[in-house]
Structure 1
């Protein structure tokens, strides 16, 4: 039944966007994390990727979180001579996380999640109407 297929596909989208939001939340939570020593790297931003695959059981494409990549952009440097992670010149490296970008990514993930949720709700209503018609 195609209605069930749409439920499974949308459910995979919900799960993927939930994973994406979890990674974005981790990035935001670590936006101010630094290393404990001058040689230790601070937190490096993570970037979620998606992959799709054909599910023979439902006969449709499903999406899921793929590889979690690390952002290779350079760390920011800030002058803070009293910090334990400061180098001999008093500079510390801070994470390569831009909270503005993370906030925009989070909003996009929320919208995608809501779109998949709307498909699930619409499908549920159609199935219920079909059952109501069959009962009559």
Structure 2
């Protein structure tokens, strides 16, 4: 694999992990967002899924975002009869976002982003050393 291909593959990883971090940040920002109407559905957690993608121009296999889907897990019900979003029984549906899970996912996405950035830096360093040898 040549240096251009390795940088191209790492760049796809940067883009994918960047989108993943944005989705996680949206989940964290909405972890307390409930419905405006009584008994309505609150914010639903989103998840980014990836797939391998062949770049025919370089021959490298990178990563692409397949889609951003919603997590279909159940909402949490909390008894708050005075809340404006409470249903007839006094329960409020809370988002299916777990802050600890999101924090762990964010850390994993951050580490993957940093790994791709390090690979680009390594390719840049090899290119600079090659140029120095040619002088």
Question: Would you call these one fold, judging by a TM-score over 0.5?
Answer: yes
Q: How far apart, CA to CA, are the structure 2 residues paired with 1:100 and 1:128?
A: 42
CA shift, 1:40, in A, is: 2.1
Moved more, 60-69 or 123-132: 60-69
Residues 47-62 of structure 1 correspond to what in structure 2 (within 5 A)?
A: 47-62=47-62
Count of matched residue pairs: 135
When the two structures are superposed, what TM-score results if normalisation uses the length of structure 2?
0.97
**Gapped regions of structure 1 (runs ≥ 5):** none
How big is each residue's C-alpha offset from its partner over 1:77-133, in whole Å with a ceiling of 9 and x where there is no partner?
Answer: 011111111011111000000000000000000000010010000110000000111
What's the secondary structure of 1:15's corresponding residue?
helix
Residue 115 of structure 2 is aligned to residue 115 of structure 1: yes
Q: How far apart, CA to CA, are the structure 2 residues paired with 1:88 and 1:55?
A: 55
Residue 24 of structure 2 is aligned to residue 24 of structure 1: yes
What's the secondary structure of 1:21's corresponding residue?
helix
